[in-house]
A and B are shown apart, each in its own frame.
Chain A
Amino acid sequence: MDRDRSRDGRSWDWGSPQNRAQMDEIFFREQDYIQAGCTEHKEFWAFFDRFQRFKAKREMSGSGIRDDVKEKIRSGSEKVDLGLPKEYDARYRINVSVCTGDIEKRVRKSDPRSRQRSSGPGPQEVSDCRLALLHFLDFSQKQSFGKLAKLRREQKNLPIFQYRDRIVELVRRHPVIVVAGDTGCGKSTQVPQYLLSAGFSHIACTQPRRIACISLAKRVSFESLNQYGSKVGYQIRFETSRTAATKLLFLTEGLLLRQIQQDKILDQYQVVIVDEVHERHLHCDFLLGVLRSLLAERPDLRLILMSATINIKLFSEYFRSAPVLQVPGRLFPIQVIYQPIPPEEQPSRSEKLDPRPYLRILQGIDQRYPPEERGDLLLFLSGVAEISNIQEACQVYATHTRRWIVLPLHSTLSLAQQDKVFDVSPPGVRKCIISTNIAETSVTIDGVRFVVDSGKVKEMSFDPKAKMQRLQEFWISRASSEQRKGRAGRTGPGVCYRLYSESDYNAFAPYPVPEIHRVALDSLVLQMKSMDLGDPLSFVFIDPPPTASIQTAVTYLKEQGALDSRGELTSIGKLLAQLPVDVVIGKMLVLGSLFNLVEPVLTIAAALSVQSPFLRSSQQNPDCKTSCQPLHSNQGDPFTLLNTFNAWVEVKGERGGGSRKWCRRRGLEEQRLYEMVNLRRQFKNLLRSHGLLESEDTAPSSGDREQRRERFTERKKLHQLKRDHEQQEGTKRKVLRLEEGGEFSSGSDSEDRGRGRKSKEGQGQEVDIQEVKFKLRHNVSELQEAVGASQDLSSRHQALLKLLLCRGLYPQLALPDEHNTTRKDSDQVFHTRNKQGVVMHPTSVFASDPEVLHVPEDEPRETGPDRRDSSRHQLLAFVTLLETNKPYLSNCVRVPALQALLLVANSVDTNADCTRLVVDGWLELEVREPEEALRVLSRALSLRSEWERLLKAQLGQSATSGQGVSRRDMEKLSDGLVRFLLYTEVSYSLQRITALQTQNLYVGPQADPDSVYSELPDLSLLFPGAEAKPDPIKGGLRVTSFFTYNCLADSKDLYSECLRTFWSCPNCDLYMPLTPLERMHHEASCRPAGERQEAEEESGDGKSGSSGKSSLTRVYHCDVCDEDLKLTSTEILKHKRQHTFSAK
């Protein structure tokens, strides 16, 4: 509308911003329905231009008048006069009017100047504008109503719609009902809505997957016309949209279980819907059991199980024959073609998959179906290796024919790469998505017409004997097979190629093995204990797990100290049950809270609880590898993760949005780091709420008012960004380019190439929503401060941290094979207590740097063919032992063997002079010097008892609100532990006990123990709380719960325990012949002179001075000054900076 119009002799330019502003003053004032500056206002002016163009075209063609003549003729001869106007005007079709007369008048009066200059709008312009506005309002009404009508139409067309009233009625009349319906029947989105509109409120609907919670909440709130309200919300681990107004909440199964843990009768809900029960996840099976017993206490609670039409009877019968409502699914017909792989193309055990059968199918599709007939292909394989193998072959074919875009899909891909499967292919080209069973249920891709099913799946199982997880390939079940087939018929008729025969299919198991039968039940049993569900063995599961499986878990929890000998929760066990992590990681957190190591422990615990941020594919890329190098720590993988996280936080603080690029360059999946930072905070809050961490006292001090205001406005902006993003999210799918399939393995690099252009164009506008959420949730500078405390750990802190990890991970320890020095890097072998001959996972830092685990060559003194003495033996504490094609250790940390074992092992047995130690019945340590052996053992025993004491005090703190742990005690202990770890120079050999040895390991019970031990000193003094008595099985003397003295059957004299040797105490003047036990006794009670003095001072005046500032300080060893300094965290930073400046 740039052209001027001449009316009333004046020219009015609609394109001029000033003129438009004048119109705005009439129609779009601040109090008006549409205000100048808002979205609708912008839309109006865009509409206005279109409208004017349309009118101009109309006028030129001169339509309209002719019809009016006809109109006049017709209306005369009617019986009922509708009173319609004689002349047609589109305006009559609009049921809205805008009254602005008063303002127009005012504008004219108040601005006589503009009138004189005749630059203001005349009545014609105003009426033009008003007309356009009316049409605009009508248009937006039609648009919104169209949406509403479409929505209602779609809802009506869903198969489940006709059961609407029946469902509501069943729910009203029965406490439990089962709704069974196949894919596409609409049960997940509709059933909650039916209940909502029937007046139910406080509805919880569980989902097995977090992502489904979010997407369902979004869909259902849209469908129930509450898109912008919070009537429908979701709650997952770190995120919630729940408010007081929320009536329907989508949440994960695990989260609902946690809620029941807090709220035993689940008062907050009136209706609980458990969706996808047929998937039989561990949490879901357990949740059903818990809800089943809860129904007795909550007769008013309504429970709805929703399932695919699989094994419905099982669910119904579990709930006293609950009524079942079966709803037909909505699938298009699918043709099934059985194409078993011919024997010559069957992969043999070690070989790679033969791609020929898969390529034939691609070829067949190209021959049979014209390219303009759309429809993508989804190929199911068992694992990542298989996928990249077939992908490679298909890619060659795709590059040649230019008719396919090959895309992998599995959970270890970056999210951006996973997301690509939803993009659309250009015309004439099909997507070939090669996926694990992730696309069977978790990920739903529309537009798939062809499915290729290999019939295989890799499933995790747990081997309780070897304490090892195992990922094995199996044939799928008939239920999975049908589910895979169904993926071809979601949007139209489809074809499913099965690479097995029909007889194979018939031989498949009907259903997959439920998770509860496959996995370790440690966490489950722990949770059951904390929920007071009684004996786990008698709990009524829908499909009870094997008894052995539960027993293994109970034993394990006892070993871990979470359960006591009677199977009751210990205080640490209670706490562990609250933490949503593996028991070992929970233990680390608790241990870390005792020492000044909370920050790094929080980070490591979080890092070990999420998938590794290091993308497998990009670690083969040399550039990524080089840039990751500085992050690696040869102390162990948890330290690499710690360094990575710390470096990332630093980047976040410096350049904010630049972190994405930083991650990409290193082949890191930033999403995992975001998960870590969230998890870390959750852990911190949990520790705080259990009194294990001082609550933050920095809250009000955060800056002056100015800063607070800044932060506030920033948050407001961030919230807006988040809302905007949510609104436009998922509106448009990108179109893939042919070349985009060509990339495999090298994740990050190709991503740069593929998306680089787009992101450059969109820079500035394109919001990194993760960054926005991160900023909303975390205060970067606070985080930096916290992280600063764990950066550049001194060697002392590092040693202590390693010990904590080791104690947390215990008994997950591995011993390097003695012949590793002579083996290739890739052939290094390790042994665990239950599994021999395991190897290092290639992602571990020890896979590329195994030398750090070897006993130094120069030092060992060969004393025999198989005995190697050194003070540098090391063990690995590991997080996972997983067997795929080989048993692999991953996430390992190395620790000094003797010290770590003495400090963490559950069972330490010795011979008479303590030179031979057997730990947990599988490791044997022989110390050369009896003198040293005694000293080390005695030191370890006293450190351990002190550690135990402080830990108990720390854990008991919240309950009894007693004194807790004094900082001084804690510092002394940590100092002692560090000294012990770093400065114990004892030469010893370390080997596994052979099977033969195990048989004659112990002397066994003694005939007349009294005579042997009659001369013993009072041992309760030696180890407080310990009752030293003869061990009924091993023989010897049980000194503490973990230490049994002189029970090893030895070639040496049984009576050497009575032999006294001269010994002088380093602390006092004592010099006399003592038996080993007498000596330990003395050592435990005799404290060094310095310490004694300190203790005296403390009881005197020392307290007041130290409690203030020094409580914030810690010992920091500066390597430059070579001094131990007592400084606060900030002082340490200052100190370090001083060195860097002076160095420059």
Chain B
Amino acid sequence: MEQTATETPRNVFSCQLCGLSTSYTYYGQKPPNTRAIVLLEECFVAKDPFSPDKEKFLVLGSACSLCNMCVCVGPDCSLFYTKRFCMQCVKKHLDQFPHQIRAELAKKKQSSKSGVS
């Protein structure tokens, strides 16, 4: 029993902000079978589980370019703007981000607040 439990050591990606965890199959910028497609950051990549096509990939997350924390690509945990930033770093350096992004974040904050109350 214990053998089989350890038999398949799996690479598990875990978001350090939201805790989302799922196994990944590739880490890097060029997932297999992606041809002309290149990722602009080193990513944790899995096969897209919602596509019947075996070759479709899904980017799960990557490391924040500033603090190096592992974060998922969910909009609550990180954003990509030429580089990956975790939400904590985004908040810290919010003023360096363009207006569009700031407006968007403010709007999201508001809607999530009203959603809770």
A146 partner residues in chain B, CB cutoff 8 A: 74
B96 touches A94 (CB 8 A): no
Q: Provided the pairs A93-B80, A727-B52 are in contact, do residues A33 and B99 lie with their beta carbons within 8 angstroms? A: no
B73 touches A82 (CB 8 A): no
Tell me if B86 is interfacial: C-beta within 8 Å of chain A. no
In the assembled complex, the CB of A1021 is this many whole angstroms from the nearest CB of chain B, namely 66
Closest to B3 in A: A199
Among candidates B22, B38, B100, residue contacting A225 with C-beta atoms closer than 8 Å: B22
- What is the bound-complex CA distance between A806 and B104, given in angstroms? 80
In the assembled complex, the CB of B61 is this many whole angstroms from the nearest CB of chain A, namely 9
A92 touches B81 (CB 8 A): yes
- What is the bound-complex CA distance between A497 and B96, given in angstroms? 61
Q: Provided the pairs A93-B79, A225-B22 are in contact, do residues A98 and B37 lie with their beta carbons within 8 angstroms? A: yes
A33 touches B34 (CB 8 A): yes
A78 partner residues in chain B, CB cutoff 8 A: 93, 95-96
Tell me if B98 is interfacial: C-beta within 8 Å of chain A. yes
B99 touches A88 (CB 8 A): yes
- What is the bound-complex CA distance between A226 and B49, given in angstroms? 6
Among candidates B2, B5, B36, B74, residue contacting A145 with C-beta atoms closer than 8 Å: B74
A152 partner residues in chain B, CB cutoff 8 A: 20-22
In the assembled complex, the CB of B10 is this many whole angstroms from the nearest CB of chain A, namely 8
In the assembled complex, the CB of A983 is this many whole angstroms from the nearest CB of chain B, namely 66
B96 touches A148 (CB 8 A): no
In the assembled complex, the CB of B110 is this many whole angstroms from the nearest CB of chain A, namely 20
In the assembled complex, the CB of A176 is this many whole angstroms from the nearest CB of chain B, namely 14
Closest to B100 in A: A88
What 1/0 flags go to B81-117 for Cβ under 8 Å of A?
A: 1111100000001011111110000000000000000
Binds B, one of A67-75, A235-243, A327-335, A828-836: A67-75
Tell me if A296 is interfacial: C-beta within 8 Å of chain B. no
Q: Provided the pairs A141-B59, A149-B74 are in contact, do residues A33 and B36 lie with their beta carbons within 8 angstroms? A: yes
B34 partner residues in chain A, CB cutoff 8 A: 33
- What is the bound-complex CA distance between A21 and B106, given in angstroms? 42
Within 8 A of A (CB), among B10-68: 18-22, 33-41, 43, 46, 48-56, 58-60, 62, 66
What 1/0 flags go to A980-1022 for Cβ under 8 Å of B?
A: 0000000000000000000000000000000000000000000
Tell me if A270 is interfacial: C-beta within 8 Å of chain B. yes
Tell me if A110 is interfacial: C-beta within 8 Å of chain B. no
A145 touches B59 (CB 8 A): yes
- What is the bound-complex CA distance between A147 and B48, given in angstroms? 11
What 1/0 flags go to A81-109 for Cβ under 8 Å of B?
A: 11111001000111111111000000000
B48 touches A144 (CB 8 A): yes
A32 touches B36 (CB 8 A): yes
What 1/0 flags go to A809-831 for Cβ under 8 Å of B?
A: 00000000000000000000000
B99 partner residues in chain A, CB cutoff 8 A: 67, 70-71, 88
- What is the bound-complex CA distance between A352 and B39, given in angstroms? 72
In this complex, how many residues of chain B approach chain A with their Cβ under 8 Å: the count is 55
In this complex, how many residues of chain A approach chain B with their Cβ under 8 Å: the count is 54
Closest to A141 in B: B59
B19 partner residues in chain A, CB cutoff 8 A: 156
A201 touches B80 (CB 8 A): no
B96 touches A75 (CB 8 A): yes
In the assembled complex, the CB of A84 is this many whole angstroms from the nearest CB of chain B, namely 6
B39 partner residues in chain A, CB cutoff 8 A: 95-97
A145 partner residues in chain B, CB cutoff 8 A: 58-60, 72-74
B8 touches A199 (CB 8 A): yes
Tell me if A172 is interfacial: C-beta within 8 Å of chain B. yes
Q: Provided the pairs A33-B37, A95-B41 are in contact, do residues A200 and B59 lie with their beta carbons within 8 angstroms? A: no
A95 touches B40 (CB 8 A): yes
What 1/0 flags go to A123-153 for Cβ under 8 Å of B?
A: 0000000000000010001101111110010
In the assembled complex, the CB of B58 is this many whole angstroms from the nearest CB of chain A, namely 5
Tell me if A866 is interfacial: C-beta within 8 Å of chain B. no
B58 partner residues in chain A, CB cutoff 8 A: 141, 144-145, 148
- What is the bound-complex CA distance between A1030 and B19, given in angstroms? 86
A67 partner residues in chain B, CB cutoff 8 A: 98-100
In the assembled complex, the CB of A1090 is this many whole angstroms from the nearest CB of chain B, namely 70
B72 partner residues in chain A, CB cutoff 8 A: 145, 149
In the assembled complex, the CB of A387 is this many whole angstroms from the nearest CB of chain B, namely 41
- What is the bound-complex CA distance between A146 and B37, given in angstroms? 21
Closest to A92 in B: B82
In the assembled complex, the CB of A931 is this many whole angstroms from the nearest CB of chain B, namely 78
Tell me if A707 is interfacial: C-beta within 8 Å of chain B. no
Closest to B33 in A: A33
- What is the bound-complex CA distance between A97 and B40, given in angstroms? 7
Most A CB within 10 A of own CB, among B62, B79, B95: B95
- What is the bound-complex CA distance between A75 and B93, given in angstroms? 10
B41 partner residues in chain A, CB cutoff 8 A: 95
A33 touches B93 (CB 8 A): no
Among candidates B2, B4, B96, residue contacting A82 with C-beta atoms closer than 8 Å: B96
- What is the bound-complex CA distance between A97 and B7, given in angstroms? 37
In the assembled complex, the CB of B15 is this many whole angstroms from the nearest CB of chain A, namely 9
Within 8 A of B (CB), among A36-56: 38, 40
A96 touches B38 (CB 8 A): yes
Closest to B47 in A: A225
- What is the bound-complex CA distance between A92 and B98, given in angstroms? 11
Tell me if A739 is interfacial: C-beta within 8 Å of chain B. no
B59 touches A225 (CB 8 A): no
Lowest 5 A-B CB distances belong to which pairs? A199-B5, A225-B49, A88-B98, A67-B99, A95-B80
Where the two chains meet, the residues of B that have a C-beta atom closer than 8 Å to any C-beta of A are: 1-2, 4-8, 18-22, 33-41, 43, 46, 48-56, 58-60, 62, 66, 72-74, 79-85, 93, 95-101
- Given contact pairs A141-B59, A144-B49, a sample of 8 additional A-B residue pairs in the complex whose CB atoms are under 8 Å apart: A82-B93, A85-B82, A94-B80, A95-B59, A96-B37, A97-B39, A147-B50, A228-B54
Of the A-B pairs whose beta carbons lie under 8 Å apart in the complex, a sample of 15, sorted by A's number, is A31-B35, A40-B53, A67-B100, A83-B82, A95-B39, A95-B40, A144-B50, A148-B50, A149-B18, A149-B20, A152-B20, A199-B5, A227-B50, A228-B51, A300-B1
